[in-house]
Structure 1
């Protein structure tokens, strides 16, 4: 095996012949006889031949037929039995053809030739959505319009994501990084010998996607509100996760509200956990407070979130929309102001044109309960179906 292969990459090195036969080529370092050349300007995180993805399930590749850059992910059927199923649901017509669908498209699903438990899904090569820093409030608004729309589409199809936190939202960087970026150290260029050039979201208005359906589930509304055993994802703070069971739809609302609060209103640059305070986004505080209420049943549905979000954003002036999207150092603030004055003089709009709010789903009492309540007979169901005392479960 090549000395350039990290232990996290052994699986992919061993699957190289299979992947090439299936139409996907790994980077040159995965070729058995590869010999590295000294990089011109190696980054602080290693050269092109030693850097590796932080998760062994993930690998970058190129589609041989047309050169499309893709990401590969192996999925365990035993550990995440519904991930491929839900990914295929949203990647197949008619759902894949709906513009409100922001679930990451799946190009291909490969069965591992040596391990029956593993499947390899092939997806576009996208980036985490929060870098580079959002330049304007308008960019934040345009982003969360899409995120809310994507979760609404999932909920309308009775799917709860159950882990829609910071790292499971991605951005199509095709125009944001017009010259490309390194697949591992994404802030470096493709050759990993310099910083990657990026423009602002205002210049390209990128599309955002929701990824990772390993914890996601689809429910039958005719069975009443879902009552799911808690599985902890990236965000460990939902109040209902202090219990053993919950309705996962209000928890999705909490995740989104907490994402806005912790990474935008209290963004990294100004401090987290209440220490920072980004005033240009204060208009979202009442909505965020409702989305993160202690009682899950009191949180708004995703339709109500979108309606209130659009109403709050409609009150902003063009200059407010051009304010900094996240907290930034003073010298960057001056540059940001100059950039927005130029955009104003050039007539560059602070929001994408042609926005149409997504259609809400009419909710009768039973459907509202499906998205917000716990089943009234859950104690009896647990007792009869699992043979355990309901008194052992939280009230």
Structure 2
């Protein structure tokens, strides 16, 4: 059972929730997916048992506690659901995109189509989410189901080696450089929109709701280190992105919808038009600063670099090309021994904290 889905059995349930069906049954969003299941199956995509018509909860048949049954684990997102592509058993994600109701959805579709076309899709620098398929949503005028590879949270598997952290930074910078070279500014490239393909870390598919469990939820899986397999990182969610025909056509933009609201150019009550490419640099700089440099030892030599990326003045920030070049210069000076060393976080592990506490004076 995923830790996030566990329930403290010592606490009484709230009134009206004593029934397991009320706690573990389908919510309204999930019921919409169930209604689409026959159509999706005809299109070649299989949903988990929970989202099939006439689903009978397994705990009613096997007598187990519901939270210990994988079909009690509910949908983690509203617009997206995992599925299996029937022709090759590939694990994919299905996303509802309804442009008629959402301008951002149309924008995302157009950019994904561009980045997934021949000649661009297979560029090794392309770290944008790939569009595998798309088809209409029944009952929606312009709605589409977008099919993409199934990805995991970027930190679903722990970092073990210093080289793994370096590889993460390298791939993200390459991906940003690729977007900018194609005149695409992501505009919301914060940490929640960076994910990874972790499939090669496993010898079998893992459960979408718990990366440590098998598909049937019955077993804990052995997971390789990132450095033992080819982990690849991707940018997702291009709903706020801007794409320009050429370098000469680039222009300033407006809008403050992204999650990263600390960029100085977005702080005024009514922000003036700003350079979206410089905003990307600031956002990625904050990703590295908060999720890598402030958590792990060994990156002190990059302090001037990260300060430039997060500079108050957008014009003082490096371009994506320069940011990658400067990082590569630093990385090439890191010896093999350092790269293969275990990572050290600023927060001591629980075992060490226990020793410190036990030896503390009264």
The two structures have a TM-score, normalised by structure 1, of: 0.76
1:35 aligns with 2:56: yes
Question: Where does residue 180 of structure 2 map in the other structure?
Answer: 155
- C-alpha change, 1:229 and 1:40, in structure 2 (3 Å) is farther
- Map of 1:262-277 to 2, 5 A cutoff? 262-267=290-295
1:79 aligns with 2:118: no
Task: Specify which of 24, 30, 48 is matched with residue 70 of structure 2.
Answer: 48
- Map of 1:81-160 to 2, 5 A cutoff? 81-160=106-185
Partner SS state of residue 214, structure 2: coil
Question: Where does residue 82 of structure 2 map in the other structure?
Answer: 60
Question: Where does residue 192 of structure 1 map in the other structure?
Answer: 217
Structure-2 separation of matches of 1:55 and 1:12 = 12
- Stretch of structure 1 that moved more, 84-93 or 52-61: 52-61
Q: Which runs of 5+ in 1 are unaligned?
A: 268-277, 334-395
1:314 aligns with 2:314: no
**Deviation sequence 1:8-39 (CA, Å, 0-9, x none):** 31221111121112111111122222223237
Aligned residues: 322
Structure-2 separation of matches of 1:155 and 1:259 = 18
Structure-1 separation of matches of 2:64 and 2:167 = 36
The two structures have a TM-score, normalised by structure 2, of: 0.82
Check whether the contact 1:102–1:146 (CA below 8 A) recurs between aligned residues. yes
- 1:42 positional shift: 6.7
Structure-1 separation of matches of 2:244 and 2:46 = 38
Task: Specify which of 307, 313, 323 is matched with residue 289 of structure 1.
Answer: 307
Deviant stretches of 4+, over 6 Å: 39-43
Question: Where does residue 18 of structure 2 map in the other structure?
Answer: none
Structure-1 separation of matches of 2:129 and 2:116 = 8
What RMSD in Å do the two structures reach over aligned CA positions? 2.4
Question: Where does residue 11 of structure 1 map in the other structure?
Answer: 32
Task: Specify which of 252, 255, 268 is matched with residue 230 of structure 1.
Answer: 255
- C-alpha change, 1:18 and 1:326, in structure 2 (3 Å) is farther
Q: Which runs of 5+ in 2 are unaligned?
A: 1-20, 353-362
